[in-house]
Structures are given as C-alpha cells and as structure tokens.
C-alpha cells in the first residue's frame, strides 16, 4: 500500500484536501492526515497545505518539530505545497514586518499592496481588492507532468494577500495576473507547489491532484 501524507500543523483546510485526494487516489494508495514525523518519513507522497499567516505557520511547524521532516521530504519525495505550503518554502516573508521561513528556495513572499505602490498602481481605480480572492487564470510557464490534461490558462481558485517572488525565475511553473504578473506555481525536481487551492478548483484542480498521486517525482 502506497501512502500519501497530508501534513497537519494546525493550519489549512485539511479535510477538503484529504477528501479531494481520496477521490482521485489509486486503489493501492492510502491518504492520511498526520503531524507525526515518522508518518511523513514513511510516506511515498507528501502534501503540504496551509492558509493564514506565515508567522503562525512557522510557529506551529517549530512547536510540532516538523520543519526538518518537511524539508527532508521536499528534498527526497514527490511533494505538493498548497497556498501557505508554497509560501513558507521560500526564505523570507514580508508579513508581520518580516518572517524567516523554511528557506528551501531563495526568495521573498511579497505583499500585493507594496508591489502595487512600487508600480504606481492605484488599487481603487484598478479595482484591485486585497486579498486576491476568487477564480483566476494560470498560465503554464514550463511543461510538467502535473499539468497533463489541464488546458493552458485554465482557472483556479485563489485566496491570498501575498505572493512568492523566487530569486531563480526558472522555478516558475505558472503565472497569474492580478494588477501585476506573479508566480502562482513553482516546480523543481520532485517539488510542485501552487498558490491556488486545487481542492477548491473543480475539475482542473482534481486533475492536478490526480496527476500528483501518479507522479514519481521526475519531470520527464
């Protein structure tokens, strides 16, 4: 029996994520929600969801001693980060005057309002309400097994006020427009992570999760 572990650190829509995975998993795959490092180490696929604030996320991860198990999984196994599970993979977040994150990738998590100000964008005139919430298009910027069966510029569901800005733009697997163009998905080796919520994104979201359950961690 193959094991898909959904990491539970007290934040995120775990029931929706686990139910969506159960819906698309193969017969020989079992989905568990766990905060046990031993389960994460034993699992074949790792899903790292989350929502809320980076400060709270990092605090919970530290208190539950999950940072190293999650980073180890991200270096070794098929790994899917969702929303906050994408953001804290970077080194730093602008939230709460600056939060150090997990640092798997160099880069910063930036506030949309700061980006709009830098670009001289008037939020009110442009009708850009933060958080960015609702359906939006994702433009696939690199070929990847997880995009299989998903049309270019398909819509996914977003809820966020911050976005990732990786130093290495080659990490980008998808981009989205919200006043500015921002990275909405990243991929590198065995890691795929998305700002949007596939578990809330209807058929295309389920297709993405189904592709993940069948993925061996290779981009070939």
Q: Residue 187 pairs with which residues in a beta bridge?
A: 192
The per-residue pLDDT for range 31-63, each reduced to its tens digit, is 999 999 999 999 999 999 988 899 999 999 999
At the top level of CATH, the class of 2-213 is: alpha beta
How does the average pLDDT of the chain come out, rounded? 96
* pLDDT at 220 (0 to 100): 67
**Which residues, 6+ apart, have CB-to-CB distance to 147 below 8 Å?**
140, 173, 208, 211
The answer to whether 98 and 92 are in contact (CB under 8 A) is: yes
Is the sign of the CA dihedral 71, 218, 41, 34 positive or negative?
A: positive
The per-residue pLDDT for range 75-111, each reduced to its tens digit, is 999 999 999 999 999 999 999 889 999 999 999 999 9
* pLDDT at 71 (0 to 100): 98
Q: Which of 57, 101, 160, 199 is catalytic?
A: 199
Q: Is 197 a catalytic residue?
A: yes
Q: Which of 83, 101, 108, 210 is catalytic?
A: 83
Burial class (CB in 10 A: 0-12, 13-18, 19+), 79: buried
């Amino acid at each position: 029996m193959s094991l898909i572990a959904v990491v539970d650190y007290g934040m995120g829509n775990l029931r929706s994520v686990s139910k969506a995975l159960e819906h698309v998993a193969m017969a020989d795959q079992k989905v568990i929600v766990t905060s046990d490092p031993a389960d994460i180490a034993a699992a074949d696929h790792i899903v790292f969801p989350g929502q809320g604030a980076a400060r709270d996320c990092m605090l919970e991860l530290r208190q539950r001693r999950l940072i190293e198990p999650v980073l180890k999984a991200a270096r070794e196994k098929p790994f899917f980060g969702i929303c906050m599970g994408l953001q804290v993979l970077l080194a730093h977040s602008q939230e709460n005057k600056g939060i150090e994150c997990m640092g798997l990738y160099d880069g910063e998590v930036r506030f949309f309002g700061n980006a709009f100000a830098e670009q001289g964008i008037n939020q009110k005139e442009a009708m850009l309400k933060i958080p960015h919430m609702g359906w939006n298009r994702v433009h696939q910027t690199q070929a990847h097994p997880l995009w299989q069966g998903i049309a270019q510029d398909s819509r996914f569901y977003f809820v966020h006020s911050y976005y990732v800005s990786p130093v290495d733009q080659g990490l980008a697997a998808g981009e989205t427009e919200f006043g500015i163009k921002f990275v909405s998905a990243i991929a590198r080796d065995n890691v795929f992570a998305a700002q949007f919520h596939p578990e809330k994104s209807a058929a295309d979201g389920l297709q993405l999760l189904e592709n993940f359950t069948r993925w061996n961690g290779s981009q070939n």
